[in-house]
Amino acid sequence: ENNFECSVKANEFQGMISKLNPTVKLTIEQKDKQLLISGDNIRSGFAIIEEGQVFKNISSFLETKKEPKLLPLNFIKGLSLCRFSVARDAMFGALAAVYVSGNRIISGDDFRIGRYVLDSSIDESMLIPAEAVTQLIKMPIIKYYMTQGWAHFLTDKNIQFSTRLLAIDYPDVDPY
């Protein structure tokens, strides 16, 4: 068993793993500044990102002493159902994101509003950009923690997905 940490471009990595059969056994190793993944009829390599702001951010996340909290069991379902009513264009600001607060998930554009009630509440509010929601609903996330301007989600295997949060107010949709 090799213990290592590294970063790769998320779009490339997600594109490859989303096409895999979940029963395929994979071997993952780090070699010559590449993350190598191999298995049944699969061999792929990803350049490791070692420098720049992304690496500094990841290092600071790994040093965080925050204890991850469990997400409500129906969190992914709520994100998935509310995703349809998110504005498709970032120029809509907060409406191009999904708002999670307490036991509610809310989304909307100029025509629709989506509301979902979670099984339990989360302690902190978050405004998750639509593109991040699209990726998160594909992952078996079960825990989260937050740092300044970021939400970090973890799977049962401790794989972490981090996303920047929007730092603007979400409109009050309760009157509608």
22 is written with which tokens? 């979940």
CB-based burial of residue 30 (10 Å sphere; 0-12 exposed, 13-18 middle, 19+ buried)? middle
User: How much of the chain, in percent, has pLDDT values that exceed 90?
Assistant: 41
Q: Residue 148 has what pLDDT?
A: 84
Measured at the CA of 8, the angle between CA 147 and CA 90, to 5 degrees, comes to 60
Q: Residue 83 has what pLDDT?
A: 93
- The residue type at 94: A
pLDDT at 130 over 80: yes
Buried b (16+ CB within 10 A) or exposed e, 65-76: eeebeebbebbb
Look at the pTM and tell me if it is higher than 0.85. Answer: no
Phi, psi of 137, rounded to the nearest 5 degrees: -70, -10
* Dihedral sign from CA coordinates of 94, 95, 97, 99: positive
Q: Residue 23 has what pLDDT?
A: 83
Number of helices (H), then strands (E), belonging to the chain: the values are 4, 11
Q: Residue 82 has what pLDDT?
A: 94
pLDDT at 118 over 90: yes
User: How much of the chain, in percent, has pLDDT values that exceed 70?
Assistant: 90
CA atoms of 14 and 163, how far apart (whole Å): 14
- The residue type at 60: S
Of 3-12, 93-102, 109-118, 141-150, least confident by mean pLDDT is: 3-12
Q: Are 113 and 98 in contact (CB under 8 A)?
A: no
Question: What pLDDT, in 10s, does the model give residues 16-75?
Answer: 777 777 788 888 888 888 888 888 878 888 888 765 556 566 666 666 668 899 999 999
CA atoms of 82 and 77, how far apart (whole Å): 9
